[in-house]
Structure 1
Amino acid sequence: MGAEAEPFAVDLNKPLVFQVGHLGEAYDEWVHKPIVSKEGPRFFANDFLELLTRTRWWVIPIVWLPVVCWFVSISLRMGVAPPQAAVSVVGGVFIWTLLEYSLHRFVFHKKTTSYWGNTLHYLIHGCHHKHPMDGLRLVFPPAATAILSVPVWTLFRIISPSSLTPALFGGSLLGYVLYDCTHYYLHHGKPSKGFSKHLKKYHLNHHFRIQNKGFGITSSLWDDVFGTLPSAKAASK
Structure 2
Amino acid sequence: MVAEKFVVDLNKPLVFQVGYLGEAYEEWVHQPIMSKESPRFFHSSFLEFFTRTVWWVVPIVWVPVASYFIYNSFRLGLPIPQITLFVLLGIFVWTLVEYLLHRFLFHVQTKSYWGNTFHFLFHGCHHKHPMDSLRLVLPPTAAVLFASPFWPIVKHVCPPSIAPALYGGMLLGYMIYDCTHYYLHHGQPKSHVPRNLKMYHLSHHYRVASLGFGVTSPLWDKVFGTVPSPFKINAKR
Q: Which residue does 1:31 correspond to in 2?
A: 29
> TM-score, length-normalised on structure 2?
0.97
Count of aligned pairs: 234
Superposed CA offset, 1:96-128 (max 9, x none): 000000000000001000000000000000000
The structure 2 residue matched to 1:166, chosen from 164, 167, 173, is 164
Question: What amino acid maps onto 2:58 in structure 1?
Answer: I
- 2:12 aligns with 14
Other-structure match for 1:130: 128
Letter in 1 for 2:68: W
Where does the alignment leave 5 or more consecutive residues of structure 1 unmatched?
Answer: none
SS at the partner of 1:205?
Answer: helix
Identical pairs, percent:
60
Instruction: Name the TM-score, length of structure 1 as normaliser.
Output: 0.97
Tell me, yes or no, if the aligned pair for 1:75 and 1:163 is still in contact at 8 Å.
yes
Determine the C-alpha separation between the residues in 2 that align with 1:46 and 1:233.
44
Long gaps (5+) in structure 2:
none
SS in 2 for 1:30: helix
Deviation track 1:125-179 (CA, whole Å, cap 9, x = no partner) reads 0000000000000000001111211111111112111111111000000000000
Instruction: Write the deviation string for residues 66-98 of structure 1: whole angstroms up to 9, x where unpaired.
Output: 111111100000000001111110010000000
Give the 5 Å matches for 1:39-78. 39-78=37-76
Counterpart-to-counterpart distance in 1, 2:26 and 2:194: 30
Partner in structure 2 of residue 81 of structure 1: 79
Matched with 2:221 is 223
The code of the aligned residue for 2:95 comes to: T
- The answer to whether the 8 Å contact 1:63/1:142 transfers is yes
Equivalent positions of 1:80-229 (< 5 A) are: 80-229=78-227
Q: Supply the AA of the counterpart residue of 2:230.
A: A
Instruction: Give the whole-Å Cα distance in 1 for the aligned partners of 2:169 and 2:139.
Output: 19
Alignment root-mean-square deviation, CA: 1.2
Q: Distance in 1 between matches of 2:35 and 2:233?
A: 23
Letter in 2 for 1:27: Y
Moved over 6 A (4+): 233-236
CA distance in 1: counterparts of 2:29 and 2:17, whole angstroms? 12
